[in-house]
Amino acid sequence: MSQFISTLVQQFASLWTLLKTIRFIDVLDIIIVAVIIFSAYKFIMNRRAGKLAVGVALLLLVFIISDLLNMYALGFLLSNFFQIGLIALVILFQPELRSGLEKIGAQPFKGFKNISEGKSSAETSAMISNVCEAVADMSNSKTGCLIVIERLTKLGDIEKTGTVLSADPNASLIKNIFFNKAPLHDGAMIISNNKISAVGCFLPLSQKTDIFKDLGTRHRAAIGMSENSDAIVIVVSEETGTVSLALDGELKRNFDYTSLKNQLYALLVDQRAFKGHRKTNGGEAK
């Protein structure tokens, strides 16, 4: 028994000696690297580049096995492939890299935005109420619409594809713009700084391969816009009147006036997460 206790004490002493050699900066270094790897994995796997990343990982595994087994021909082929692999990966992952860097660049400004949030919360609440009222009415009348609410990522390049203006987001004005015989009803409306900044804008379409085949252009554009920015995109189907909301490449459906208002308030005023409705890759045709 005494020998067991002595051995246990020696093990604890060895462990304590080892812990004393570890610097705090080393622990912090490991934590930061782990967070970066996990964030990169989560970011890539939630996009169509995830399959491409899996393919690259499999090639790397084959390369390691060929090196261990001295498979010279295969090793030579893969070694030459990986010599130009970095440039190839930058080209292949260009959309995802751009999206990721835009999100990283937007993070430092969140704190500054929150400082001034109290000054603009009343205007934001009024904008949300008017948008939700217009969307609810268009849903009842099955009037198709596509509304993009800008957040941290600026959408000046998207605004230039349509008609630039500056107007308060009045519910009647929004409905008139999307009236199916109005000259500017096609395309998307951009709301920036609680103002209608442009209408009739063209949005990038999502290139996801797992989207339902019956998904219309309007819904594909909503998902595509949310993939390329942190904007909130609201869609009303002109076939069924279903209200959907796209954010970060996800499309959630079946909103009404109350649930849409609560969700927008949570995202724009309270800065809470995207939640509350069923996620889908599908939708109605335009």
149 and 64 part of one domain? no
- Domain edge (last residue) among 108, 129, 153: 108
Range of the domain at 27: 2-108
- Residue 165 domain-assigned (yes or no): yes
190: amino acid identity, one letter = I
* Same domain for 247 and 170: yes
Same domain, 138 and 275: yes
Q: Which two tokens stand for residue 30?
A: 């490991």
Residues 154 and 96 in one domain: no
Both structure tokens of 66: 């060929």
- Specify the pLDDT at position 52: 67
Token duo for residue 149: 């609410």
Residue 35, Cβ neighbours under 10 Å: how many?
10
Q: Does 234 map to a domain?
A: yes
Within a domain: residue 103?
yes
Residues 70 and 133 in one domain: no
Q: Are 191 and 148 in contact (CB under 8 A)?
A: yes
C-alpha torsion sign, points 16, 21, 22, 25: positive
CA–CA distance, 240 with 216 (Å, rounded to integer) = 12
250-252/243-247 β-pairing: antiparallel
The last residue of a domain, from among 49, 78, 108: 108
Percentage helix, strand, coil for the chain under 3-state DSSP, each rounded to 5? 55, 15, 30
Give CA torsion, residues 213, 216, 218, 222, to 10 deg.
Answer: -20
Mean pLDDT of 139-167: 90
Q: Do residues 221 and 249 share a domain? A: yes
State the pTM of this model: 0.64
Q: Which of 68, 87, 108 is the last residue of a domain?
A: 108
Considering the domain architecture, whether residues 149 and 104 belong to the same structural domain is answered as no
Same domain (yes/no): 51, 94: yes
Inside any domain, residue 189: yes
Region 146-160: mean pLDDT is 89
Query: 275 and 149, same structural domain?
Result: yes
Task: State whether 174 and 90 are in the same domain.
Answer: no
Q: Are residues 261 and 165 in the same domain?
A: yes
CATH of the domain at 144: 3.40.1700.10
pLDDT in tens, 10-22: 776 776 676 667 6
Full DSSP string of 159-211? HTTSEEEEE---HHHHHHHTSTTSTT-SSEEEEETTEEEEEEE--PPP--SSS
* Inter-residue contact 261 to 275 (CB < 8 Å): no
Average pLDDT over residues 169-178: 93
Say if residue 43's pLDDT is above 80. no
Q: Which pLDDT value is given to residue 256?
A: 92
CA-closest candidate to residue 227, choices 16, 48, 88: 48
Q: Answer with the residue of higher pLDDT: 247 or 2.
A: 247
Confidence of residue 155 (pLDDT cuts 50, 70, 90): confident
User: Dihedrals φ, ψ of 203, to 5°?
Assistant: -110, 150
For residues 252 and 245, the answer to whether their CB atoms sit within 8 Å is yes
Alpha-carbon gap, residue 189 to 234, rounded angstroms:
10
Pick from 261, 270, 272, 226: which is nearest to 247 by CA? 226
Count of beta carbons in the 10 Å neighbourhood of residue 182: 13
User: Mean pLDDT over residues 46-54, rounded?
Assistant: 62
Q: Are residues 91 and 123 both part of a single domain?
A: no
pLDDT digit string, tens, across residues 195-243 = 999 999 999 888 776 666 666 788 889 998 988 888 999 999 988 899 9
| Total domain count, the chain | 2
